[in-house]
Amino acid sequence: MKSLHFGAGKIGRGFIGAQLSLAGCDVTFVDVNSDVVNAINRQRGYALHILDREPFVQSISGVSAALVADSVELFLQADIVTTAVSVNLLPTVAPVVAEGLAARRAAGVNTPLNIICCENGIRATSYFKSLVVALLDADMQCWVEQVVGFADCCVDRIVPIVTLDNPLDVAVERYCEWCVDSTVIKGNLPAVSGMHLVDDIEARIYRKLFTLNTAHCAIAYLGALKGYEFIHEAVADSTIRATIEGIMGECSDVIVRKYGIDRAEQSAYCRTILERFSNSLLGDTIKRVSRDPMRKLSPQLYFSCPITLALQLGTATHNLSVAVAAALKFRSDEDMQSLQLEQMIARLGVADTVREVCGIDNPLVLAQIEEQYGAF
Q: Do residues 63 and 131 both lie within one domain?
A: yes
Structural element, H or E, at residue 82: strand 80-83
Q: pLDDT > 90: what percent of the chain? A: 96
Confidence class of residue 138 from pLDDT cuts 50, 70 and 90? very high
**Backbone CA torsion sign across 229, 235, 236, 242:** positive
Q: Do residues 140 and 12 both lie within one domain?
A: yes
DSSP state of 119: -
Q: Do residues 184 and 287 both lie within one domain?
A: no
| Number of CB atoms found within 10 A of residue 178's CB | 22
Confidence class of residue 120 from pLDDT cuts 50, 70 and 90? confident
Alpha carbon distance 326, 372 (integer Å): 8
Confidence class of residue 94 from pLDDT cuts 50, 70 and 90? very high
Sheet holding 26-31, edge to edge: 64-67, 26-31, 2-6, 80-83, 113-117, 148-150
Strand partners, 27: 3
Q: Do residues 193 and 243 both lie within one domain?
A: no
Query: What is the rounded average pLDDT for all residues in the chain?
Result: 96
Q: Do residues 158 and 226 both lie within one domain?
A: no
Q: Do residues 121 and 227 both lie within one domain?
A: no
For residue 156, the SS3 value is strand
Last residue of some domain: 169, 199, 229?
Answer: 199
Confidence class of residue 160 from pLDDT cuts 50, 70 and 90? confident
Q: What is the CATH number of the domain that holds 74?
A: 3.40.50.720
Q: What is the CATH number of the domain that holds 320?
A: 1.10.1040.10
261-299 pLDDT per residue, tens: 999 999 999 999 999 999 999 999 999 999 999 999 999
Q: Is the pLDDT of residue 121 over 90?
A: no
In this prediction, residues 166-172 reach a mean pLDDT of: 96
Q: Is the pLDDT of residue 139 over 90?
A: yes
Distance set, CA 45 to CA 27, 37, 58 (Å): 10, 11, 11
Q: Do residues 120 and 237 both lie within one domain?
A: no
327-368 pLDDT per residue, tens: 999 999 999 999 999 999 999 999 999 999 999 999 999 999
Q: What is the CA radius of gyration of the chain?
A: 22
pTM: 0.91
- pLDDT of the residue at 161: 84
Structural element, H or E, at residue 128: helix 124-133
Last residue of some domain: 199, 218, 248?
Answer: 199
Please give the distance of CA 76 from its chain centroid, rounded to a whole number. Answer: 29
Confidence class of residue 86 from pLDDT cuts 50, 70 and 90? very high
- pLDDT of the residue at 53: 87
- pLDDT of the residue at 290: 97
298-321 pLDDT per residue, tens: 999 999 999 999 999 999 999 999
Q: Do residues 189 and 265 both lie within one domain?
A: no
Q: Do residues 9 and 149 both lie within one domain?
A: yes
Kindly tell me the burial class for residue 37, based on how many C-beta atoms sit within 10 Å of its own C-beta (0-12, 13-18, 19 or more). buried
Alpha carbon distance 141, 137 (integer Å): 6
Q: Domain of 136?
A: 2-199
In this prediction, residues 88-116 reach a mean pLDDT of: 97
In this prediction, residues 203-217 reach a mean pLDDT of: 95
- pLDDT of the residue at 113: 97
Q: Do residues 116 and 180 both lie within one domain?
A: yes
| Number of CB atoms found within 10 A of residue 160's CB | 21
Q: Which of 101-105's residues contact partners 24+ apart within 8 Å by CB, and which partners?
A: 101/75, 101/132, 101/136, 101/140, 101/144, 101/148, 102/136, 102/140, 103/72, 103/73, 103/75, 103/76, 104/75, 104/76, 105/140, 105/143
CB 217 within 8 A of CB 319: no
Q: Do residues 137 and 253 both lie within one domain?
A: no
b/e per residue 8-24 (b: at least 16 CB within 10 A) = bbbbbbbbbbbbbbbbe
Last residue of some domain: 199, 230, 263?
Answer: 199
User: Which range is least confidently modeled, 88-102, 135-149, 188-202, 226-240?
Assistant: 188-202
Per the structure, how many domains does the chain have? 2
- pLDDT of the residue at 178: 96
In this prediction, residues 184-196 reach a mean pLDDT of: 92
Q: Do residues 98 and 165 both lie within one domain?
A: yes
- pLDDT of the residue at 275: 96
AA identity, residue 237? D
Q: What are phi and psi of 234, to 5 degrees?
A: -65, -40
- pLDDT of the residue at 88: 93
Q: Is the pLDDT of residue 162 over 90?
A: no
Structural element, H or E, at residue 366: helix 363-375
Distance set, CA 32 to CA 67, 70, 142, 176 (Å): 6, 10, 30, 26
